[in-house]
Amino acid sequence: MPENVVQGLQPQALWDFFQALTQIPRPSKSEDKVIAYLQDFATKRKLEYKQDSVGNMVIKRPGSGGGESAPTVVIQGHIDMVCEKNNDVQHDFYKDPLKLMKHGDWLKAEGTTLGADNGIGVAAALALLDMPASAKLPPLEGLFTVDEETGLTGAFGLDGSLLTGRTLLNLDTEDWGEIFIGCAGGGDSILELLVQLEPKPPSHSHPQMLRVSGLMGGHSGLNISEDRGNAVALVTRVLQAVVKVHPDVRIISLSAGDKRNAIAREASAVVEVPSGEPRLMVQQLVSQQALLLKEEYGHLEKDMSIDIFDHPQRAPTVMTVESQTKLLMLLSTLPHGVIKWSHAVPGLVETSNNLAAVKPSSSTDSEAKYTIIMSTRSSLTHAMEVQRARIAALSGLCGATVAQDKAYPGWAPNPASPVLQVTKDAFRQLLGKEPKVAAIHAGLECGIIGEKVPGMDAVSYGPTITGAHSPDEQVSISTVKLFWEVTLKILETLASKQQ
C-alpha cells in the first residue's frame, strides 16, 4: 500500500487511524487483532478501559477544556467489517492488509470491501479519545462493539454496566447530511435441504459451468429498494428455464452469494448435459436468458454477465430429478426484495427479505446438504415475524428444515430526543440548512444498546459511504471532514452542559 494514500487528508488524525485499521484483519468473529490494537492504544495513553465477556471494549477519556463536569457521552462504532472480494482477487481477510486507492473524492480498496463501514466511525472515536487536554470535550466513553455484521452479537451480549453515559453518538450510518433516529429490526432464517444424488447418466459427458457475475450487490437493507439483481434469484431463473426445455440436464452443484447482509453478486452452477446437439442447445438457451435478463436489469446492472462454458472437472454423481426440482422450486418461491413500504414514514421500506446465499454444506456419495440463508428486516416486529413464518412454511412445503435466531429489535424514533436537538443545531450551523431527520431500513446497534442501558438517548450519523458490503465500497473524503467537524460541534455543546 502506498505510504501517502491518506497523507494530507483532513482530519489527518482520523485518516491515520483509519489507515491503521485497514492494515489489521478484522472479520466478524475474528476481531482479536484489532482488540489488541485498541488495548495498546489505551495503555499507551494511560486511558482506562474495560471489556465484557463477548469482547466489547469501552475506553474512557476524562472531560477537558471546561467540559470536566459535563454528562458523559458515549461514542460508538463496531470494529468488525464485511469481508467481500471479487472472484479474481487473491486476498485472505484473516491475514492480509487492505490495499487502498484514491479516485478524486473517493477512497476505496482494490477488489475488496473497504471497511469504512464502520472503520471510519471507529477511527473518529479514536481520534476523539486522542485529542489534547486543551480540547473542549465532555467525558467520553468510546464503545467498540464486536461482531455487528453477522448478527449484532456484540450489542446483544453487551454488559450495560460498563457504561455510565446516557447520551450516545452512533457513528455507523452512511448518508452525510442526514440524522437517523430509528432503524429496522431483523432476524435470519437458515434453511437446510437434503438433496439426493445418483450416478451420472452414461449419456452425460459434457459438464458445463453456468456463471452469473458482475452484479452490483450491496447492503441488504440500504440497497434493497433499488431492485438490484440478486445472483441467487437470477441463476435459479436460468436453471429453471434450461430444465424446463431440457429436463435431462442435471445439476452437479450450485453456489451463490455469501454474507447474510449483502445482496448476492455472483453465482455458479455446474450441470451435466447430454452429449451431442443438446450441449449447443443449452448454451443457446442460456444466451437467450441472458438477453432477457439484460433487458430487465441492464439499465441498472451494466456489468452483469451470464455465461456458460465447458467445465473441465467431471463429477461421478448428479442431483436426482426430484431433488433438483425441489431445490429450484424452493429458491424460486422464497421472497426477496421489498415486501412493504411504510405508510407512516413516506419513502421508508418497512419490511424486506434478502435471499442471501445458497451453497452445499456437506455431502456423501448419496446425498448433499444445501444451506440457504435468508435475512428479514422490518420496522415492525410482528410484520417481520409474519415474513419469517412465511419462509418457514415454504421451507416445509419443499422438505427443508429451518432454524431462526432471535430477532433483534428495531430502534423506535424519539423526535423529542435532547441529543437530537443538539445534533440538528450543529448540522444547521455547519450546513446552513435544516438537516434531514429519518429512520433507516438497516440494523443499527442503538436499539439493542438502549435495551441494555435504560435511558440511553441516541442519534446516528456518518459520512457518505456507497457500495457497503461489496467490493465497490467507497467513502467520500470531503464528507469525512464535515462529519468530523459536526461531531466536534455536538461535543462542544454537550461539554457546556452541567450534570
Active site residues: 80, 148
Q: Residue 444 pairs with which residues in a beta bridge?
A: none
Residue 249, phi then psi, degrees to nearest 5: -70, 135
The residues near 454 (Cβ < 8 Å, ≥ 6 apart) are none
CB 472 within 8 A of CB 113: no
Distance separating alpha carbons of residues 120 and 124, to the nearest angstrom: 6
CB 463 within 8 A of CB 258: no
Residue 73, phi then psi, degrees to nearest 5: -115, 135
Positions of E strands within 155-241: 167-170, 178-183, 185-199, 204-213
CB 83 within 8 A of CB 113: yes
Q: Using DSSP, how many helices (H) and how many strands (E) does the chain show?
A: 11, 22
Report the run of H or E that residue 492 belongs to, with start and end: helix 477-495
CA 59 → CA 141, 143, 485, distances in Å?
Answer: 6, 7, 22
Residue 25, phi then psi, degrees to nearest 5: -60, 135
Cβ count near 71 (within 10 Å): 17
DSSP assignment of 51-64 equals E-TT--EEEEE--B
DSSP assignment of 229-296 equals --HHHHHHHHHHHHHHH-TT-EEEEEEEE--TTB----EEEEEEEESSHHHHHHHHHHHHHHHHHHHH
CA angle 57, 60, 65 (to 5 degrees): 155
The residues near 390 (Cβ < 8 Å, ≥ 6 apart) are 335
Question: Which grid cell sits at 236?
Answer: 435459479
